[in-house]
Amino acid sequence: MFLTGAEILIKSLIDEGVDTIFGYPGGAVLNIYDQLYNYRDQINHILTAHEQGASHAADGYARSTGKIGVCLATSGPGATNLVTGIATAYMDSIPMVAITGNVTRPLLGKDSFQEVDIAGITMPITKHNYIVKDINDLQKVVKEAFYIAKEGRPGPVLIDIPKDITAAKAIYEPIIPKEVERKTKHITDEALQSVAKLINEAENPFIYAGGGIVASAAYEELKEIVEKINSPIATSLMSISSFPYNHPLYTGMIGMHGSKASNILASKCDLLINLGARFSDRVINTQNQIKHAKVVHIDVDPAEINKNVKVDAFVVGDLKIVLQRLIPLLKEKKNDEWLAKMNELKALKVKDTSETGELTPEFLFRKLSELDDGSFVLATEVGQHQMWAAQHFEFKIPRSFISSGGLGTMGFGLGASIGVQMANKDKTVFNIAGDGSFGMNCNELATAAKNKLPVKVIIVNNNSLGMVRQWQNFFYEGRYSSTDLNGTTDFVKVAEAFGGKGFRVHEKEELVPVLKEALAYKEGPVVIDYVIHNDKKVFPMVAPGAAINEIISEEDV
């Protein structure tokens, strides 16, 4: 049957299993929105307050489900407003399809009204992108885009569609989506044996698990290998919630604000086993930091092997499949002396300030953890509050920590939490924010209120850009240039103005009753203004460029 390009697009999305799109209309996508109206019983379109919010919502939808998130924007500024969200998804390997409209084909390249080369702009931050210049290619492009976004190392794909393509007609016939198969082509017996040999010979192994564990859903396999070889395990920021927080072999997060145990063990091990992490500069990205250890790296992306750290053995392939084939080759180990060292280091916990009289991040996340019935998902903005959440909340289920790791995008969390809530109606979704980050995209409260989404926003309010201020304190002799916000914003009134509910917490005894009231409120978003001192810092900390075991603690300063 002959259909317009707009209808072919919508029917192709339905064929791919898309049930929700986040977007904002404009002239170049009016034909698409007309078809979204016609197909509103099959695809739910969520109108966000800003296109950036739409891209973060699609990202949160994807991170919390493993499905592909979809966002839609018009040409020009609508398309460029997606760029930060696309880059965020790209850095963290999140499957997303971004659809943009553009001017008609005769006007391309002529500096037309609201014309921009969005394909050129996003080329470095997408797995692939398309400009559809032939109506007969549109359906095929959509199929390819969804396959590429999910295949191998996931990531965002952009489809740019000129307006006249959405009006033109072509034959449409339903096509069954190509099944995405796990990458196994390069998983050889030789590679598996070389990795197994190093693990079996190691006396002090240490596992560094990254976001690849989440992407491949290798949770059970990770637990099995940890327990078989009795290795301490740390997670990167992107892998938090992939391993049980209360497991005796878990040492916490690794990296700049990782636990003392994780960072010291990584520097003292004789074999570092990297599972799906990219040797980031916020963790380990130089050989010198682990100079006494041999290194094993398992990753789906061959470009990550030997990129930052030279390895002694590696396997390229889907982590779940690699671990399933590797585990039978491994010997059971006890590592008694090494585990005794681990337990000694785990006892060196960060100073707990939750029992002091003042409000602290530790107190907030301890009480929040106690209330979690196993349904809590925490999205975060970026800054001190993000690190405190990663350090102190007890994550109980996989995919329950939704945070911008690689790009570090302030303003990410609220849009992301909307996407998470849309995809997980049975979950309790929080956005952990700082007052600085919240101010960037707080307009998305309107989206949550309009759609009656019961997202709970907790603003860890220190009246400053806390993480930048912390660096100024340590490395710039306390010259607080433009980081003290001196804010006069009343966040309770902001919540109410957007149609939500607001609370303020000044005293410790107020917190639990407020949290319980927030949990009971289901009619829309809740904002909790949790006021802490602006000198509260994130510890432990490793200075930029320092060795991973050169840890700054609160006692040191």
Per-residue pLDDT of the chain (557 residues; tens, 9 = 90+): 899 999 999 999 999 999 999 999 999 999 999 999 999 999 999 999 999 999 999 999 999 999 999 999 999 999 999 999 999 999 999 999 999 999 999 999 999 999 999 999 999 999 999 999 999 999 999 999 999 999 999 999 999 999 999 999 999 999 889 899 999 999 999 999 999 999 999 999 999 999 999 999 999 999 999 999 999 999 999 999 999 999 999 999 999 999 999 999 999 999 999 999 999 999 998 887 888 899 999 999 999 999 999 999 999 999 999 999 999 999 999 999 999 999 999 998 766 666 678 999 999 999 999 999 999 999 999 999 999 999 999 999 999 999 999 999 999 999 999 999 999 999 999 999 999 999 999 999 999 999 999 999 999 999 999 999 999 999 999 999 999 997 889 999 999 999 999 999 999 999 999 999 999 999 999 999 999 999 999 999 999 888 899 999 887 76
Q: What's domain 189-346's architecture? A: 3-Layer(aba) Sandwich (3.40)
Give the single-character DSSP code of 181.
P
Pairing of strands 428-434, 456-461: parallel
Q: What single string gives the DSSP state of each residue in 217-278? A: T-HHHHHHHHHHHT--EEE-GGGTTSS-TT-TTEEEE-STT--HHHHHHHHH-SEEEEES--
Q: Tokens 């659809």 appear where?
A: 99
Give the span between the Cα atoms of 517 and 526, in whole angstroms. Answer: 10
- The domain 2-171: what is its CATH number? 3.40.50.970
User: Which of these CATH numbers, 3.10.350.10, 3.40.50.970, 3.40.190.10, 2.170.190.11, describes 361-538?
Assistant: 3.40.50.970
pLDDT at 357: 81
49 within 8 A of 447, measured Cβ to Cβ: yes
| Residue 234, beta-bridge partner list | 208, 252
Whether residue 540 has a cis bond before it, omega within 30° of 0:
yes
User: Is the model's pTM score more than 0.85?
Assistant: yes
Residues labelled as active-site residues: 51, 113-114, 163, 467
Residues of the chain with CATH 3.40.50.1220: 189-346
Q: 3-class secondary structure for 107-148?
A: HCCCCCCCCCCHHHHHHHHCCEEEECCCHHHHHHHHHHHHHH
CATH 3.40.50.970 in the chain, residue ranges:
2-171, 361-538
